[in-house]
Amino acid sequence: NSFLAQMKKNMDLSSLHGSELKQKLKELHQRICKLEAEKYDLEKRNERQTNDKNMLGENKQDLLAKTDEHEIMRLVQADFGLGLLRETSNFEKESKIFSPISISMALAMCHVGARNNTADEIGKVIGAGASREEILKYFSELMVEINKTDKLFTLDTANRIYFADRKDFELLENFKNVLNQHYQGEFQMIEFWNEENEGIAKKAAAEINTFVEKATREKIKNLIDYQLFDKWTRMVLVNAVYFKGKWQYKFEERNTQSKKFYFSDGKEKEVS
């Protein structure tokens, strides 16, 4: 009640003129924007708490039973992407763009070499419990489809696994063969860390960053910090995606106008 009374008082604009009226309207607009943002956050939080169901709905198992393998995998990937978006939105307040399929592809590559509980957990996330063969087949065909040329857009993917160059760490030939054949994967042995030489870690990070920068046509730079490496680092899995599309209706630059954009916290910024 006290809040409503205060709002009513604030909305009495009859005695204001000129710059005072403009300032008061601006303050009211900012307060309304903030309240709407808080209301939206609260509604979404309650929705997640009371109805934490994924996009496949209440009868998920029934739906999967009636659907072919590839369609199931597509639904699972969409579900994974939305789930990832929900999780990141819980603790990230700034805007983010990420590629769920890029993350799935990296996990699929890990799944090739995983066994026991690790393989089961990854399989549940990217394949809803599908067999190792089904997951391999789906992502292998997806890689081919993604890398097809198209006049309307450019979509390139690049995969590489960096393994620790150590005598006590040896890769199975079958693992390397499967990734090369199905995921167009590249392998590179690299020294990640040396207790007596910090330059080793810096060199490893620079090499990985160069690969990512080249794969993304210089859109992603300095992805890896050398301080992430330590004596326990055995593998770094890199999946880079580059996308460039053409607008169906191209926006004409001459139509651009500068306007003020008001944030929910009351801040404002000139945008065009």
Within a domain: 8 = no
Residues 46 and 192: their CA atoms lie apart, in Å, by 45
Question: With 0-12 CB in 10 A as exposed, 13-18 as middle and 19+ as buried, what is 157?
Answer: buried
C-alpha distances in angstroms, 93 versus 86, 90, 124, 142, 264? 12, 8, 28, 32, 12
Query: In angstroms, how far is CA 246 from the centroid of its own chain?
Result: 22
Under 8 Å between Cβ of 161 and 244: no
Is residue 7 assigned to a domain? no
CATH number at residue 214: 3.30.497.10
Q: Phi-psi bin for 201: left (phi > 0), alpha (psi -120 to 50), beta? A: alpha
Task: State both tokens at 140.
Answer: 């292998």
- Clarify whether residues 169 and 251 are in a common domain: yes
Collapsing DSSP to helix, strand or coil, 244 comes out as: strand
State residue 228's pLDDT score. 94
Tell me, yes or no, whether 108 lies in a domain.
Answer: yes
What is the total count of domains within the chain?
A: 3
pLDDT (mean) for 241-247? 83
Q: Do both 169 and 255 map to the same domain?
A: yes
pLDDT at 209 exceeding the cut of 90: yes
233 or 262, greater pLDDT: 233
Task: Give the pLDDT confidence score for residue 4 in this predicted structure.
Answer: 47
Beta bridge partners of 260: 270
Domain match, 127 and 165 both = no
pLDDT per residue over 171-180, tens digit each?
Answer: 888 988 888 8
Residue 34's domain comprises 17-51
Identify whether residues 163 and 142 lie together within a single domain.
Answer: no
Q: Are residues 166 and 222 in the same domain?
A: yes
| Same structural domain, 22 and 81 | no
Tell me: do 202 and 95 sit in the same domain: no
Q: Which helix (H) or strand (E) holds 268?
A: strand 268-271
pLDDT tens per residue across span 95-146? 777 788 888 988 998 899 899 999 999 999 998 878 899 999 999 888 888 7
Span 16-34, pLDDT tens digits: 566 776 677 777 777 777 7
Are 167 and 219 contained in the same domain? Answer: yes
Residue 201 neighbours by CB under 8 Å, 6+ apart = 192, 193, 194, 226, 227, 229
**What are the b/e assignments for 131-144, b being 16+ CB within 10 Å?**
eeebbbbbbbebbe
pLDDT at 65 over 70: no
Classify residue 182: in a domain, yes or no. Answer: no
pLDDT at 2: 46
Same domain, 110 and 140: yes
Tell me, yes or no, whether 257 lies in a domain.
Answer: yes
Tell me the per-residue pLDDT of 139-194, one tens digit each, with 9 for 90 and over: 988 888 877 767 778 888 778 889 999 888 888 889 888 888 888 767 889 999 99
Please determine, for residue 213, whether its predicted confidence score (pLDDT) is greater than 70. yes
Evaluate whether residue 152 is within a structural domain: no
Task: Judge whether 140 lies within some domain.
Answer: yes
The answer to whether 82 and 55 have CB atoms below 8 angstroms apart is yes
Domain co-membership, 22 together with 113? no
The reported pLDDT for the residue numbered 55 is: 45
CA angle 81, 85, 87 (to 5 degrees): 115
From residue 35, alpha-carbon distances to 6, 31, 49 in Å are 14, 6, 21
Quick check: is 2 in a domain?
A: no
Q: Could you tell me if 255 and 218 lie in one domain?
A: yes
Q: What is the pLDDT of residues 2-18, one digit of tens each?
A: 444 554 455 555 555 66
3-state SS, residue 171: coil
Assess whether 123 and 198 both reside in one domain. Answer: no
Paired tokens of 126: 């990217």
